[in-house]
Each structure stands twice: as C-alpha cells, then as structure tokens.
Amino acid sequence: MMESLDIIAFIEHADLLNDQSSSISQKTCLKAIYGLPLDPQELEIYKRATGRQTYDAAEQQEVTIIAGRRSGKTTKIAARIVCFEAVRDHGLPQGEEGYVMLLAPTLKQAKIAFRAIHRDLRRSPVLSAWVVRTTKDEIELKNGIIIGCYACTYDGVRGHSVVAAVCDELGFWSDEDTAANPAEEVIAALMPGMATVRNSKLVKISTPFRKDGVLWREFQQRAELDFAVWQLSSQEMNPTISSSILERERDRSAERFRREFLAEFTDSVSGWIVPELLDPCIVRGRTELPYTSDGIFVAVADPAFVRDDFALAILSRRDDGRIVVHRVARWSGTKAAPLGHEDVLGQVKSILSEYQLNSLIGDRHCYDLIRQLLDRLGIHYQKYNFDARSRPEIFANLRYLLSQRKIELLDNPDLLRQLRSLQEHRTDRGQVDIRPAGGGKDDLAVAVALAASELSKQPTGPSPMLFPERTSRVGGRWDGVRYVPEDVGRAIIAGRPLTPEEEDRLLWGS
C-alpha cells in the first residue's frame, strides 16, 4: 500500500499519519522535494521561497530549508520525511540495517524531531505495528531501519547505510576549520553512506544565525546549486501562529525578530575574530611556556565544578609591552561526576607555584568556598565582577591586542577553537555581547581575555603578589599588592620573622 502513496497521501492517510493540517507552504515544500506537480498557487510559493523561476518536477536527494521559529520545519517537514523514508524500499541488501540519522548541535535538540516521529508512529494503526524496539534515542523498525538521535560528529556518522539524515539547526553547528566537528566535515562524512542507497534524503533545516558557514554559503549560492534552498518566514510556513506572539517578539527586538521569525540573515550576529587577526599571534608549536623573570605575571580562573569546565590561564607582560600566554589548563566535570574542589585547587596551587604566584583572580562563582580553600593553600583569591558590561570590555581589549600583534598565543587547540567560535551579538540599543556559537564553551577564552585585560592595566615592573599583614595572619586577612620573592613569601605565610636581608628584598623586590 505505502509504495503506491506519495508523501502527501502518506501524511493524510487515515491509517498512517492521518494529518490534514499541513499548510499550503508546508505541502508545497514537501511536494517539491519529491517532484510532485504544483498548482499555480504552489508554483508561486515555490518561486518566491527558492528564488528559482522554473520548477523541475524531479525527486531531490538534498534540500535546505531556512525558516523561522515555530514554522513546523522540524515537526511538519523533517519528521514527516523521516517517517515516509523509513518505510520505503531503499534497495538495501537483505539483512543490512539502514539508518535515519537525526543530527543537531545537541542531542536535546535532535530529540525534538525524534519525539515527533515517535508520536506519529505510535498513533498510526499501521506504522505502530512496524516498531520492533524503542529506546530513549532509537526506534528500530521491522524492515531493519533504525531511526535515532546522534551527535553531529563526523566519526559518529561514518560506516552506516543512511537512508535519510536530518541536519537540524544547521546554522548553529560549528563551522570553523579547527572545530572538533565542523559542519562541512560532518555532512561530507554522511554522503558516502547515502551514495548506494536508493532515494536517500539529506534534509538541512535551520533558522538563520549569522552570515557565515554552510547555511549562509548555500543561501548565497542557491541559484547555482543542483538542489533547492528554501527561505520562508514563520507565518508563511505556519499561518496558525498567533499575530500577537509575533508582535510581542517584534517589540522585544526588531533585529532578532527579523532573524528568528522572518528567517532573514542579519548583521546582528557576526564572527568576533577573523583568521587574519588571530593567526599571526599564534606561536606555532608552543603549547606552554615556563616562568621567566622579565615580566609581570597574572593568573586567572574561570571556575566551575559540575557541568562546565574549570579553566586556568597564566599570562605575563614583558618589559616591551608584549603580553604572552604561558599556560592554559582546564578540568571537566559532569552532573554525575562533578570535580572535586580540593583536588582541582590543589593542582591550581601546584601550577601557580611554577610561576612564583600566590594570587589568583576569578569570578563570583563559588567565590566564598574557593576563597576559603585557596586561603588554606596560601593563595589569595581576588573576585572579579564578570558581567554583561565587563565582558565586552575585556574582549575588546583582547581584540585590540590581536590587531596590534601585541599578544602571543599558545598553539592550544581548545583555546584556539574557543576564540574562533566567539561571536559578536548586537542588540537593538547598540549594545555588544561576545559569546560562543551554539552555546559552546568559552572558559579558556574568558580566562585569557581577563588576564590580558588585567595585565594591560598594570604598570611595568615585577609581578604583583599579595602578602598578609605583618602582625598576624589570623582569620586569613590580606592587605596590599606587592612583589614578594618566592622564598620570602613562604616565610611570611609560615609566620616566621624576616631577617634584615629578607626585609630589604621585600622592600626592593630583588
């Protein structure tokens, strides 16, 4: 029965998906993907959405859909294609498994389509009988097709026969060449698994995000591509969306409204740094640099112990004004296995000792606990109010240093990846925020930017090191900022009276 049905009949059939609620734009999109005839109204929608003047009624292997939020692009388009392709004959050899891969920046996002598919299959009198096994991430059908959520990694998609793949929110995937899994590499890794599959489908869907990456390039080149690139607003795709909701979103931010509901690429989000600025500041092959006596040193932490990373950066400023990154380190924790406070801070203490430092700068996260633990280790912890105002300032300083080539960066993949993923977001009021794409990590980038900012404020001279009041160290009270030679600092922390020679060294920093 199903082999004789086209995609629209499959969706509307009472014993299959039994859904007659698709909008005319959603139907037009599906019809065009499968090469079905279009009536004059549908043809007008097709031309406007794709920028093409003629319609070639042929089934497509690949399609890109740029649409606004709540447009139904995931549940009404992608999920329906998945259900249809999962029960088609794709010419796979007997006993060979075929995969439908739902890919997104996070598994949580991939599960939006997965839940819609699971709901459609469960409610269908016919399709529910095809389900053999269901887990939280996979649905196995009796024909050997497995529908599942997978991380968007190029090694994770290799080695499978892929009957269909949905690349959800493609605009938010990593695009940098140095990213762990750049979007182009993931898509390229999918293609061999689809090459020998009859009528395979690669469906790329997203709201637009920035004028960069795969989604933007395909939109720019859509006249030359051999597949259609659609662009439709939320209301065009889904006329049932409330006008009051749209007006409220427009009032909140006209710029964001254009991007998220009109599906337009805007200039409010852009890459924060370009290779031409970043690359000349990277010292190739240098992964860390030991202590030197000819500079001011600062250590900064971006602390976290559960889901985010605890990051540490140690930088110096040389006498000629150059700022040098000497060391970056990070410790990762999870909800199931959070980092041990004392263990991490003990390692931090050890690293600081290598650079003759007994002070550390960090933000407000767990400040009281970290301060108490570090105080026991003889490390003064200074709080920095890292907020929406200070964040753009410290990154602006870092960008200036990069543009003037006044900073030397380590050849550290994690640090460079984070720097390259940073994006500049502008609000309607002209305010700027710098944050990573797709909710990625920026802990090392933050630590380096803050350390560079602190060093830029310091006068030339030896490293500032905090020392306790001379009379007593009871209660962990600290006062002042001075240079303390390492052995003198140990004497102070131990509470031992200083010799005359040590007094001179403390005074003159020699």
Domain chopping of the chain, boundaries: 8-239, 275-457, 474-508
User: What's the confidence (pLDDT) of residue 487?
Assistant: 56
Q: How many CA atoms lie within 13 A of 506 on its CB side?
A: 19
Tokens read off for 21: 């609620």
- 10 Å Cβ neighbour count for 181? 17
Mean pLDDT in residue range 483-497:
52
Are 380 and 478 within 8 A, CB to CB?
yes
Ranking 101-105, 263-267, 337-341, 396-400 by mean pLDDT, the lowest is 337-341
Ranking 194-198, 271-275, 405-409, 484-488 by mean pLDDT, the lowest is 484-488
Tokens read off for 454: 């602190």
The DSSP code sequence of 261-317 is TS----SSEEES--HHHHGGGB-TT-------SSEEEEEEEE--SSSSEEEEEEEEE
Strand pairing category for 432-436 and 201-206: unpaired
User: What's the confidence (pLDDT) of residue 128?
Assistant: 94
Contacts of 101 (CB under 8 A, 6+ apart): 148, 150, 157, 160, 162, 164, 165, 166, 190
Amino acid identity for residue 71 in this structure: S
User: What's the confidence (pLDDT) of residue 236?
Assistant: 94
Q: Which helix (H) or strand (E) holds 79?
A: helix 79-86
Q: What CATH architecture applies to the domain 275-457?
A: 2-Layer Sandwich (3.30)
User: What's the confidence (pLDDT) of residue 212?
Assistant: 76
Are 409 and 369 within 8 A, CB to CB?
no
Using pLDDT thresholds of 50, 70 and 90, give the confidence band for residue 133: very high
Residue 184: is its pLDDT beyond 90? Answer: no
User: What's the confidence (pLDDT) of residue 4?
Assistant: 82
Mean pLDDT in residue range 30-38:
96
Contacts of 244 (CB under 8 A, 6+ apart): none
Mean pLDDT in residue range 356-385:
87
Beta bridge partners of residue 328, listed in sequence order? 313
Using pLDDT thresholds of 50, 70 and 90, give the confidence band for residue 398: very high
CATH number of 8-239: 3.40.50.300
Q: Give just the sign of the alpha carbon dihedral 265, 267, 270, 273.
A: positive
Q: Give just the sign of the alpha carbon dihedral 73, 75, 81, 86.
A: positive
Are 303 and 424 within 8 A, CB to CB?
no
The rounded percent of the chain whose pLDDT value lies above 90 is 48
Residue 486: is its pLDDT beyond 60? Answer: no
User: What's the confidence (pLDDT) of residue 175?
Assistant: 60
Using pLDDT thresholds of 50, 70 and 90, give the confidence band for residue 145: very high
Distances (CA, A) of 467 to 141, 292, 368, 485, 490: 68, 21, 19, 11, 10
User: What's the confidence (pLDDT) of residue 506?
Assistant: 46
Q: Give just the sign of the alpha carbon dihedral 103, 216, 402, 275.
A: positive
Distances (CA, A) of 5 to 222, 276, 292: 30, 54, 74
User: What's the confidence (pLDDT) of residue 467?
Assistant: 43
Q: Which tens digit of pLDDT belongs to each residue from 64-79? A: 999 999 999 999 999 9
Q: Which tens digit of pLDDT belongs to each residue from 320-361? A: 889 999 999 998 876 666 777 788 889 999 999 999 999 999
Mean pLDDT in residue range 127-143:
94
Tokens read off for 243: 């006008």
Q: Report the distance separating Cα 11 and Cα 341, nearest Å.
A: 54
- 10 Å Cβ neighbour count for 344? 21
Ranking 154-163, 354-363, 439-448 by mean pLDDT, the lowest is 154-163
Residue 417: is its pLDDT beyond 90? Answer: no
Q: What value does the mean pLDDT of the chain take?
A: 83
Cα R_g (the chain), whole angstroms: 29
Tokens read off for 227: 């597949």
Q: Report the distance separating Cα 400 and Cα 506, nearest Å.
A: 35
Mean pLDDT in residue range 81-106:
90
Residue 305: is its pLDDT beyond 70? Answer: no
Residue 193: is its pLDDT beyond 50? Answer: yes
User: Which residue from 442, 404, 405, 443 is spatially nearest to 422, judged by alpha carbons?
Assistant: 442
The DSSP code sequence of 476-505 is G-B---B---HHHHHHHHHTPPPPHHHHHH
Residue 253: is its pLDDT beyond 70? Answer: yes
Mutual orientation of helices 24-33 and 79-86 as an angle, nearest 10°?
40
Residue 171: is its pLDDT beyond 70? Answer: yes
- 10 Å Cβ neighbour count for 278? 17
The reply to whether the predicted model has a pTM over 0.95 is: no
Residue 371: is its pLDDT beyond 80? Answer: yes
Mean pLDDT in residue range 13-36:
95
Instruction: Give the three-state DSSP class for 85.
Output: helix
Write phi, then psi, for 165 (nearest 5 degrees). -140, 135
The rounded percent of the chain whose pLDDT value lies above 70 is 83
